[in-house]
């Protein structure tokens, strides 16, 4: 279904940078999949890890927006904001200066809600300007304490490339444990380091970038079974997912977790901590395993050890069932299905 006679502007405060070249790729992929609607796309083009960038990136982001879209002749009917706060201010600026009848759609991804509890006055004022909310998961929607007029639960979607994945048998796989994602504290890289000694007999591959990269590279020198490969594009990730016997997610907070969906689309079960995102996707014992979040980190590590031991001890028939269940649960998150629903939302908003 295509939105007729509607100009759409998509805004994201994310963008690639040297230490994270694929940051915001899920928004980019969504924009690409919406190409038939010819949306305009404003994202953080000037992005690096320098102190100057950290100080000035938002002022430059705003000035670039004013030049490209406030001073432009093109008029938009819908402004779709990815990551509500503070990105919403650009949509409100457009509504105030260019088109008071514009409809504002917001996709919340996680920390744009988690970090603002309880919501302050400015956050509440901005929220009142939104016509349509989209939440990455049901649990994230429940965390949002403010009243909403229209709301949908819809993740950003995973690349259609993963639709062509084929199942690989246990014995034909070359990786035992795979991690893909940001290498930071929230994603549980300290937990991964703590697990490496008990995974000495397993081939472990870590793909991603972030502040814990150097520590993980040092650990890989100590453990020859560990390979740190850095960030990879979707085509390379598809190969890694397909070759992995299991995918591991150690996050403390996760609104959805697209990498888990990508792994399962490639017939790879997931072992994950019980976050909003994992609870949305994983059925314990069916397409993976859920490890409960604990107040004591030692207990979290112990639970992971148990989950991994049980996973690698399961019979081949059970693993094959897990593979098929993983694929089945992930198919709904492929970008084609997500974009169809998004077009329905746009049509309803402008009608």
- Over the chain (351 residues), what is each successive 10-residue block's mean pLDDT? 71 84 83 92 90 90 96 95 96 97 95 91 96 93 89 92 96 98 95 96 96 95 95 95 98 93 98 94 96 92 97 96 97 94 94 84
What does the pLDDT read at residue 191? 97
To 5 degrees, how large is the angle CA 110–CA 60–CA 104?
45
Which of 154, 158, 211, 214 has its CA nearest to residue 186? Answer: 211
What does the pLDDT read at residue 5? 57
Q: Which two tokens stand for residue 348?
A: 């309803």
Q: Which CATH superfamily is domain 8-157+335-350 in?
A: Glycogen Phosphorylase B; (3.40.50.2000)
Q: Are 73 and 101 in contact (CB under 8 A)?
A: no
Q: Which two tokens stand for residue 204?
A: 């472990």
What does the pLDDT read at residue 3? 46
Q: Helices 234-243 & 258-265, crossing angle to 10 degrees?
A: 60
**Same fold: 8-157+335-350 with 160-333:** yes
Report the phi/psi class of residue 74: left, alpha or beta, with left for phi > 0 and alpha for psi in -120 to 50.
beta
Domain ranges of the chain: 8-157+335-350, 160-333
What does the pLDDT read at residue 49? 82
What does the pLDDT read at residue 315? 96
- The sheet carrying 78-82 orders its strands as 40-42, 8-12, 78-82, 103-108, 132-135, 151-153
What does the pLDDT read at residue 47? 87
Contacts of 261 (CB under 8 A, 6+ apart): 155, 158, 281, 330, 333
Domain range 160-333, CATH class? alpha beta
């Amino acid at each position: 279904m295509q939105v007729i006679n509607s100009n759409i502007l998509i805004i994201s405060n994310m963008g690639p940078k040297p230490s994270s070249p694929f940051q915001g790729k899920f928004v980019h992929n969504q924009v690409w999949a919406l190409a038939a609607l010819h949306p305009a796309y404003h994202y953080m083009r000037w992005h690096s890890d320098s102190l100057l960038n950290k100080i000035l990136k938002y002022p430059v982001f705003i000035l670039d927006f004013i030049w490209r879209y406030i001073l432009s002749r093109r008029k938009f009917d819908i402004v779709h904001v990815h990551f509500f706060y503070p990105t919403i201010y650009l949509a409100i600026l457009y509504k105030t200066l260019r088109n008071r009848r514009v409809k504002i759609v917001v996709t919340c991804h996680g920390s744009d809600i988690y970090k603002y509890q309880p919501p302050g006055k400015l956050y509440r004022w901005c929220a009142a300007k939104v016509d349509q909310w989209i939440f990455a998961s049901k649990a994230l929607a429940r965390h949002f304490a403010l009243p909403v007029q229209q709301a949908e639960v819809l993740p950003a979607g995973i690349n259609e490339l993963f639709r062509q994945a084929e199942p690989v048998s246990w014995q034909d796989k070359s990786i035992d444990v795979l991690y893909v994602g940001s290498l930071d504290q929230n994603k549980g890289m300290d937990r991964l380091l703590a697990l490496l000694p008990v995974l000495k007999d397993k081939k472990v591959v870590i793909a991603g970038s972030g502040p814990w990269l150097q520590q993980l590279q040092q650990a890989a020198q100590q453990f020859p079974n560990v390979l740190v490969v850095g960030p990879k594009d979707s085509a390379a990730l598809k190969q890694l997912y397909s070759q992995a016997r299991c995918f591991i997610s150690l996050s403390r907070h996760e609104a959805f977790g697209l990498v888990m969906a990508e792994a399962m689309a490639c017939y790879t079960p997931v072992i994950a901590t019980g976050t909003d995102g994992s609870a949305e996707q994983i059925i314990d014992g069916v397409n993976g395993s859920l490890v409960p979040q604990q107040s004591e980190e030692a207990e979290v590590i112990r639970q992971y050890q148990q989950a991994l031991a049980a996973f690698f001890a399961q019979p081949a028939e059970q693993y094959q069932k897990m593979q098929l269940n993983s694929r089945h649960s992930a198919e709904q998150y492929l970008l084609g299905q997500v974009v169809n629903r998004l077009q329905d939302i746009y049509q309803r908003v402008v009608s």
